Amino acid sequence: MLNDYTLTEYCNDIAQEICRDASDEDQAMDWASESADGSEYVIYYAKAHELCRGCDTTQGEDFVADCFSDVPMTYDEMACRIAYGEIDARIRAAVYEIFEQREAAA
């Protein structure tokens, strides 16, 4: 079962891979959104529901409230959008941290 720890590790792994190949932070942030959008936890309803059941989804819920407050959606669509928002936020936070560490080390 997916939980906060495994979701964070999943997102951190994606962020590390992105940062290895990105030419700068802006490109890495673009790739973070693309990676979140293509995540199995976003494209498969069952996986999205698993994420929503087992993890803190505060950032994902905030994303949905900010971007889709007036958009009617099904239960499945809501879960996928929450999952996207949560994964995107976690990957972006990890990418930001990696670039901050690089700058501090330079």
pLDDT of residue 1: 84
Number of domains in the chain: 1
pTM of the model: 0.94
DSSP code string of 20-64: HH-SSHHHHHHHHHHHHHT-HHHH-HHHHHHHHHHS--HHHHHHH
Mean pLDDT by 10 residues, the chain (106 residues): 96 97 95 97 98 97 95 96 98 97 86
| Mean pLDDT of the chain, nearest integer | 96
Full residue range of the structural domain in which residue 41 is found:
4-105
pLDDT of residue 105: 86
